[in-house]
Structure 1
Amino acid sequence: MPESIYSALGEYVDLLLDAVCAVDKAGRFEFLSRGAERIFGYPAAEMLGKSMLSFVHPADRAKTLDAANAINAGHIRLDFENRYIRKDGQIVHLLWSARWSADKQQRVAVARDITKLKHAEARQRALYAISEAAFAAENLQALYEQLLKIVQQLMPVSSFVIARLAPQGELHLPFQHLPSATESHLMAATQFCLGLLARNAISPSILPTAITEPSTWMGVVLNSHNTILGVLAVQLDDSAMEQADADLLEFVGQHIATAIERKELLARLHRAALYDDLTRLPKRELFYDRCRQALSGLERTQQTLAILYIDLDGFKPVNDQYGHAAGDSLLQQIAQRLQQRTRQTDTVARFGGDEFVVLLTQMDAAPMVSAIAEEIRLSLNVPFLLNTQAITITPSIGIALCSTASCSIETLLENADNAMYKAKKQGGNCIIFA
């Protein structure tokens, strides 16, 4: 081929934005087009004669060497991906097509910079993963653990903390992944989060910190609907933190803030559906669920369960004389005493008004139930303090027992309710078995 054509081909190759490279069998660069400097950041003269592996990201060297050996053996690669470290320290993602030239005894390859594509894919995967975690995680702590795994897939995280800002301004760390777990490490994480929040107060725009020292932190303020939730902060295994890492963390942080807020909202809605706002006791639906669980275990344990239906004697006059705020305080104190007189395996629920229902499980017989009911009655006879005023109120308690899984929850509640009304007819402050 005439030299003029070779020269023209060389000019065309140099016009390509991709890098055209040739390396010898040992992997030393022998030719680099001008596109290589744009991609690698090095002038060709600084790379020629040097091993390609010295520029490859350490984590990708093993697979790069395997691919090179396969190409040297005659295999053609059209879709090999790896990462190189540019002269400025930034990481570039490359897509290679390569083959072995037997007559030249060279490996000839073309590299395309796909860094932006990889970053876009990483963001998209993170967005899907965060959205899924927000719905699938059982609770907030489980969500934090899922978020750690998602961020670990995006960057080599060694330490990870989520700091939350309380309404009063206090900062606490509800989730922390600190390998050293020392007090100084925890203090450093806390101080970094406080500093980032202080900077954010001066400049409200979200600014991840661009840091290059291996011992320092990188973080982002968690903002959602103009509300500051806290800080997401990480330390990376790599000694150099790239701007790309900071940009990615900022993107992830925005969606993590939304996921946390959504999970907290769902938790509040779930709690509102199952628990009484005033007393924090289970409502009817949760009580029924606990009853079903207890009934299913009766055949195995051969024990007895009991339902205590409790109504307060003379509660209405308390509201009339002292006001509804005092009545609410009284109900809260009664709920506390009922919980203090029962076990963790039992359930105390509020069905509305001044009606409380207690599920006692793993009872041996009626005398055991009677003893617990009497403890409850006596505890409620102790005067309550309402605005420095001592108030005495008594309960009427009806009890229904069951020792077989075939019992109906509705029937048990109805029997206990009827027994409670019999107790009221007898003057109240007493216990009646159905």
Structure 2
Amino acid sequence: MTTDLHSNIADLILDTIFIVDVHGNIRYISPSCENLLGYSQQALLGTPMIDLVLPEDRATTWNEAMRIMSGQPRVGFENRYVHKDGSIVDVMWSARWSPEHQVRIGVARNVTESRRQLRTQQAMFAISNAAHQITDLSKLYQEVQRISASMIPASAFAIAFADDSGRFTFQYQLDFGGDSSCLGDDEAREVCTQVVEERRTVYRVPAPADYSWLAAPLSRAGKIIGVIVVRSHPGILLGPQESDFMTYVAAQLSDAVDRIRLHAELLAAATTDELTGLPNRRLFLDRAETACRAARRHQHRFALLYLDIDDFKSINDTFGHAAGDAMLKEIGDRLVMCVREEDTVARLGGDEFVVLLPLLQSKDAPAAVGEKIRNAIAMPFKLPNGTSIIRQTGIGAAVFPDDGMDITSLKNAADKRLYDVKRRRLVGHDST
């Protein structure tokens, strides 16, 4: 009678009562389990409870179960389960260990709607905050993925951008299954292409697969420039809530990418010589000051090499400014080939260039680099009209701390040496 009474009471409770043995298998579960997870009582009896938990939540759930089995009752623990239809169910449960019967006894409640609303608000705020504050694209992509994971349980996440021909480049991708090639396969690219063609968020379940794709467009000035795409875990099908959230994320990310790229373009315009693509005077001075501070701190030497091209004005006068511009570009390319990656070649204006060697390996390094530069510039230049010409360069070098303790002093010393070199060359020419 007592057992029947208890059973009848359990059958009437809207929350789900469960009993799990020491091995984690379900020994009893009340009929309301069907409303909670979509499975009947009979289907769940003997099933490992952990198998019903969302993969991302299994580690914390298992740790919590171990604490309960050690004799610590738990009230109000929350985790996520996978419904029979593939949807995600938020559950709050309380449980305690029965040492007499060697089982966990607990009660579970469906809190999906309230938790989803709260989680959505928190995630949307976090996405907006990241989009407005982070200025590095790679860090932004990582943060967007991290936040999105709280809303969209994904086995793979990627951000892809399309070129003018429609080919996609995955600039950020993360596959939790360890298969790094899956995001570049035909299926992923088909989803991305569909997003671009239909200009909307796309949800796809490939038959007969038990997972789903969700992808939303990234746009700039009304043009689709890329796609943010996720693939669900096997057995989990994403729904309208995830689709709405993905659309919001894509809109925020689109604005952020646009802003960061525009900032980078403006910064490049402010610090790069438009003709040669080399650092300009502003960026050179910034790097030179950095090198000077490092040299003082670590007590090492660095050098500046100022140079210009002999009789460059005659190139413009004789062959036109287009020829002069072509020659300046070639000079910039040759100078870059003469130095290390950590060195800086900058154009100051006209035919004036400067080389910054931030860390000298030897006292002879400036002279050795100067000789490489002279030899490189002395090679014939072929102008756009086919004419070959030869020019030489004058170089003035200054070394920290021998020639000055600050950039102004070093610049003056290098300028004076460049002037002296050109004067001696002119005197030598006049004496012949």
TM-score of the two chains, using structure 2 as the length reference: 0.73
Contact 1:398/1:419 (<8 A) preserved = yes
Question: Helix, strand or coil: the match of 1:401?
Answer: strand
Opposite residue 330 of structure 2, the aligned amino acid is Q
1:379-390 → structure 2 map (5 Å cutoff): 379-387=376-384, 388-390=386-388
Q: 1:401 aligns with which of 399, 403, 406?
A: 399
Determine the C-alpha separation between the residues in 2 that align with 1:228 and 1:167: 10
Instruction: Select 1:242's aligned residue among 238, 243, 247.
Output: 238
Mark the runs of 5 or more structure 2 residues left unpaired by the alignment: 1-8, 98-103
Against the structure 1 CA distance between its residues 98 and 376, is the aligned structure 2 distance closer, same or farther, given a 3 Å change threshold?
closer
Question: 2:205–2:211: 8 Å Cα contact kept in structure 1?
Answer: no
> Contact 1:21/1:109 (CA < 8 Å) preserved in 2?
yes
Q: What is the CA deviation profile of residues 373-426 of structure 1, one whole-angstrom value per residue up to 9, with x for unaligned ones?
A: 233123212222221232333323222232369711012112222333344445
Corresponding residue number in structure 1 for 2:335: 338
Residues 1:310 and 2:307 aligned together = yes
Question: Could you tell me whether the CA contact under 8 Å between 1:134 and 1:143 is conserved in 2?
Answer: no
Q: 2:130–2:140: 8 Å Cα contact kept in structure 1? A: no
Q: 1:427 to 1:74 in 2, by over 3 A?
A: closer
Q: Which of 71, 87, 91 is the aligned partner of 1:90?
A: 87
Aligned with residue 121 of structure 1, among 119, 130, 138: 119
Structure 2 CA distance for partners of 1:245 and 1:211, relative to 1, 3 Å: farther
Alignment match of 2:174 (pick from 145, 153, 177) = 177
Q: Distance in 2 between matches of 1:423 and 1:202?
A: 64
User: C-alpha distance in 1, partners of 2:314/2:391?
Assistant: 10
Query: 1:329 and 1:140, CA in 2 relative to 1: closer, same or farther beyond 3 A?
Result: farther
Look up the match of 1:229: 225
Partners in 1 of 2:14 and 2:68 — Cα distance? 17
The AA in structure 2 aligned to 1:335 is G
- 1:54 CA drift (Å): 8.3
Partner SS state of residue 257, structure 2: helix
Distance 1:333 1:378 in 2: 14
Counterpart of 2:191?
196
State which of 248, 252, 269 in structure 2 corresponds to 1:255.
252
Equivalents in 2 of 1:392, 1:339: separation in Å? Answer: 19
Work out whether residues 212 and 239 of structure 1, in 8 Å CA contact, stay in contact via their aligned partners in 2. Answer: no
Number of the residue aligned with 1:374: 371
- 41, 52, 57: which is aligned to 2:53? 57
* Alpha-carbon distance change, 277 to 239 in structure 1, aligned in 2, over 3 angstroms: farther
In 1, Cα distance between equivalents of 2:382 and 2:257: 40
CA distance in 1, matches of 2:81, 2:351: 71
SS in 1 for 2:398: strand
Aligned to 2:204, the other structure's residue is in SS state coil
- Greater mean deviation of Cα atoms: 209-218 or 327-336: 209-218
Aligned to 1:414: 412
1:30 to 1:334, Cα distance in 2 relative to 1, 3 A: closer
Q: Kindly provide the amino acid, as one letter, of the partner of residue 241 in structure 1.
A: L
Counterpart residue identity of residue 240, structure 1: I
> 1:209 aligned to 2:207?
no
CA deviation after TM superposition for structure 1 residue 357, in Å: 0.9
Of the three residues 215, 218, 231, the one matched with 1:220 is 215
Where 1:279 maps in the other structure, the secondary structure is coil
User: Does the CA-based 8 Å contact 2:404-2:410 persist in structure 1?
Assistant: no
Deviation at 1:335, TM superposition (A): 0.6
Partner of 2:266: 269
Query: 2:158 pairs with 158, 161, 167, which one?
Result: 161
Q: Secondary structure at the match of 2:166?
A: coil
Superposed counterparts of 1:132-143, under 5 Å? 132=130, 135-136=133-134, 139-143=136-140
**Match of 1:227, as an amino acid?**
K
How many residue pairs align between the two structures?
404
Q: Is the 8 A contact 2:199 2:224 kept in 1?
A: no
**Counterparts of 1:46 and 1:191, CA distance in 2:** 41
d(CA) in 1 for partners of 2:195, 2:205: 15
Q: Deviations over 1:163-184 (max 9, x none)?
A: 22123433223333346777xx
Q: Specify every segment of 5 or more residues in structure 1 that has no aligned partner in the other structure, as ranges.
A: 1-9, 101-105
Asked if the contact 1:275–1:281 (Cα under 8 Å) also holds between the matched residues in 2, the reply is yes
- Percent identical pairs in the alignment equals 28
Separation in structure 2 between the aligned mates of residue 119 and residue 359 of structure 1, nearest angstrom: 57
The CA distance in 2 between the partners of 1:53 and 1:369, in whole Å, is 72
Q: CA RMSD in A?
A: 4.4
1:171–1:201 CA distance, 2 compared to 1 (3 A): closer
Residue aligning to 2:278:
281
Query: Measured at CA, do residues 259 and 238 of structure 1 come closer, stay the same or move farther in structure 2, by a change above 3 Å?
Result: farther
Of 367-376 and 341-350, more deviation after overlay is shown by: 367-376
